[in-house]
């Protein structure tokens, strides 16, 4: 269903002109309702697979939750802003991520720490931060496409993209919100680590990449405030911070579960 909708939006938003009234009003009623159907099924599958009989999590679950939150955030955001052109980006990624937990079941988390409120809060905050950064990265991608159009002569490849200034405003709002949740994720991670292991920070690759990602996005927001960074500069810093954030958990779990065959 995600793929079918992505194909529909690719044909109506990117390849050709949007149907009458779409560019001004955003999603039509049936399109908005249609997105909710796979989104609801996706959420139900995640609940059954992650929170069913036991708490189970791994890189596949992280990617699936990340894209579920990403699509949900896009749907809510589209109620207030016209985001034509975002759909062909976010929906295919969700289509790839949704079945991954069935192929890679992840690690069953047991013990007292898995049931601790601090751990569940930390996990929830991290996934919300991931989802917000996914949407921010897609906003940056659309910004790059819109900026390229401004310097291109002749026919416009993507006639229904939102205005560049709108994309830029939304991008930094998303990055700002994601940065807040990433900060809360690090704070709860420090508190949880101190309670479980007796020390605030464990010096390992996840900690290093998470802190580097936090510093990257902090520098980007500071550069935006102090120097007015935008366009390709914002895209490069957003991509760099997101890649480091992926390595903080998703990348390491992928190496352990798939390449090394460990849990």
- The per-residue pLDDT for range 63-86, each reduced to its tens digit, is 899 899 999 999 998 888 777 778
**pLDDT at residue number 258:** 47
Q: What residues contact residue 229 under an 8 Å CB cut-off, 6+ apart? A: 220, 223, 237
pLDDT computed for residue 6 by the predictor: 94
Does 261 score more than 60 pLDDT?
no
- The Cα 199–Cα 111 span in angstroms is 19
pLDDT confidence tier of residue 183, bands split at 50, 70 and 90: very high
What was the pLDDT predicted at 2?
96
Amino acid 43: pLDDT? 94
Q: Among 62-71, 208-217, 222-231, 248-257, which is the least confidently predicted range? A: 248-257
106 compared with 121, residue with greater pLDDT: 121
pLDDT interval class at 61 (50, 70, 90): confident
pLDDT for 220: 92
CA–CA separation, 142 and 115 (whole Å): 40
pTM listed for this prediction: 0.80
Percent of the chain with pLDDT over 70: 77
Q: Residue 116 is encoded by which pair of tokens?
A: 């601790």
Give the pLDDT of residue 21: 47
Q: For residue 57, give the 3-state DSSP assignment.
A: strand
Average the pLDDT over each of 20-29, 192-201, 216-225 and give the range with the smallest value: 20-29
């Amino acid at each position: 269903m995600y793929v079918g909708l992505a194909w529909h939006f690719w044909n109506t938003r990117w390849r050709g002109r949007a149907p009458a009234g779409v560019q001004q009003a955003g999603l039509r009623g049936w399109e908005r309702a249609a997105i909710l159907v796979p989104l609801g099924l996706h959420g139900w599958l995640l609940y059954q697979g992650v929170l069913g009989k036991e708490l189970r999590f791994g890189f596949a679950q992280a990617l699936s939750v990340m894209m579920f939150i990403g699509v949900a955030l896009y749907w809510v955001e589209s109620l207030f802003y016209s985001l034509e052109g975002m759909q062909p980006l976010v929906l295919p990624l969700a289509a790839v991520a949704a079945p991954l937990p069935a192929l890679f079941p992840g690690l069953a988390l047991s013990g007292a720490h898995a049931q601790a409120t601090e751990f569940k809060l930390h996990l929830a905050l991290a996934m919300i931060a991931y989802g917000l950064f996914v949407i921010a990265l897609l906003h940056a991608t659309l910004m790059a496409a819109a900026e390229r159009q401004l310097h291109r002569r002749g026919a416009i490849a993507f006639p229904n993209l939102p205005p560049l200034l709108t994309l830029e405003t939304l991008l930094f709002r998303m990055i700002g919100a994601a940065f807040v949740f990433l900060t809360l994720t690090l704070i709860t991670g420090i508190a949880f680590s101190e309670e479980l292991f007796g020390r605030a920070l464990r010096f390992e690759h996840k900690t290093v990449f998470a802190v580097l990602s936090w510093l990257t996005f902090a520098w980007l927001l500071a550069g935006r405030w102090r120097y007015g960074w935008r366009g390709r500069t914002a895209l490069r810093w957003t991509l760099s911070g997101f890649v480091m954030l992926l390595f903080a958990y998703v990348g390491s779990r992928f190496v352990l579960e798939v390449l090394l065959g460990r849990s």
